[in-house]
Amino acid sequence: MTGEIGEIDEIAETGETGEIDEGVAVLRRGGLVGMPTETVYGLAGDASNEAAVRRIFSVKRRPPDHPLIVHIADRSQLAGWSAHVPASAAVLADACWPGPLTLLVPKADHVLAAVTGGRDTVGIRVPAHPVATALLQRFGGGLAAPSANRFGQVSPTTAGHVRDDLGGDVDFVLDGGACPIGVESTIVDCTTSPPQILRPGGIADEEISRLLDGATEGSSGPTRASGMRASHYAPRARVEISETVAGATILAAQLASDGLAVDVLDPTADLVVAAQQLYVWLRDADTRGLDVLVAVLPPSFGLGHAIRDRLLKAAGRG
Ligand code: TXA
Ligand code: MG
């Protein structure tokens, strides 16, 4: 099946070397590369090159106060990007990297204000995709990479999505297949006591809490990462939400009787598949010309936290 880790391993092993080299060359001259990760595709630029970082913001049409995550090749590079590594960050990095987890730590002096939006913290992550790993290892430095979509729109989970969304504004796109997780990384602020989950994502809140012996504040409260304001991850179609299938069906029937093109999205059967497919389903709503997509919210457990969060934001209720 497309998007399984085994298949991506094969892609990375069977001669993408030339492509990786080309990606590195683009990054070294300050260009931007569409980079597959296990969560979503990123729009990557050299995190130490201010012009490249500024171009990421302009291509994404993203306000400058929405900081970027710095991606590094492995855990040993964390100390080089942080003023000091809080104990909670060390525990989570050891347990979850490489993987879908971003840690906010106090930033090292050299980290550009353009990357952090002027904050004294920086978000760091070691992605678990073999193409991202190869690119980061050969590049050597950190890569600032937000999701490779225009601000507020649906995140990309294939190379085709990146090309469709950004066209000629991205210099080179590495094709690593479909992203195996499909929703963004979990973001944990390790500079507070207790640490706080700012964005639910590919690693469940329960797992973060278990790793920190319960000493964490979950994502069920208001989300605090900047850029987490309403109407993100949104297709052109209006998104309505319901806690139950029955409620969604009734609402869809009402909207259809008003003459609107409507469908129901029920992601509750298998949350792993739902996370993988969520952004494809949201994009399909537009391809199919729907006016309204009525989505059933999954329970607040496991990947359900992230799927709920994205659907609520797509509905402008985040
Ligand atoms: O899975 C992911 O995290 C993907 C892939 C490409 O790695 N990246 C991603 O980046 O989702 P982006 O920029 O679309 O979302 C990052 C979020 C934004 O809401 C940003 O404001 C927040 O993280 N963020 C980053 N650094 C922060 C900081 N120092 N303080 C508060 N929020 C921060
Ligand atoms: Mg994003």
Residue-level pLDDT at 224: 54
pLDDT at 220 over 70: no
Is residue 197 classed as helix, strand or coil in its secondary structure?
strand
Give pLDDT tens digits for 105-136: 999 999 999 999 999 999 999 999 999 999 99
pLDDT band at 214 (very low <50, low <70, confident <90, very high): confident
pLDDT at 13 over 90: no
Residues 68, 124: Cα–Cα separation, whole Å? 9
Residue-level pLDDT at 4: 44
Instruction: Using most ligand atoms within 8 A of CB, pick from 65, 66, 69 the residue to mutate for ligand 1.
Output: 69
Strand 238-242: give its sheet, edge to edge.
Answer: 238-242, 292-296, 262-265
Which positions ≥6 away from 137 have C-beta within 8 Å? 73
Residues 102, 186: Cα–Cα separation, whole Å? 6
> What is the rounded average pLDDT of the residues 259-265?
97
Measure 199 CA to ligand 1 centroid, in angstroms.
9
Residues 223, 318: Cα–Cα separation, whole Å? 8
Report CA dihedral (87, 91, 96, 99) to the nearest 10 degrees: 20
Measure 146 CA to ligand 1 centroid, in angstroms.
6
For ligand 1, residues with CB inside 6 Å are: 37, 39-40, 42, 66-69, 100, 102, 104, 116, 119, 121-123, 125, 127, 145-147, 184-185, 187, 225-228
Strand ranges inside 29-107, DSSP E: 33-35, 42-46, 69-71, 101-106
Measure 235 CA to ligand 2 centroid, in angstroms.
13
Question: Ligand 1 atom closest to Cα of 119?
Answer: 29
Give pLDDT tens digits for 52-67: 999 999 999 999 899 9
Residues forming a β-bridge with 105: 122
> What is the rounded average pLDDT of the residues 163-183?
97
Question: Ligand 1 atom closest to Cα of 39?
Answer: 1
Residue-level pLDDT at 317: 84
Please report which ligand is nearest the Cα atom of 234. 2
pLDDT at 2 over 80: no
Mean predicted lDDT score pLDDT of the chain: 92
Instruction: Using most ligand atoms within 8 A of CB, pick from 102, 131, 136, 219 the residue to mutate for ligand 1.
Output: 102
Ligand 1 atom 10: residue of nearest CA = 146
Residue-level pLDDT at 251: 97
Q: Please, which residues have CB less than 5 A from ligand 2, an ion?
A: 147
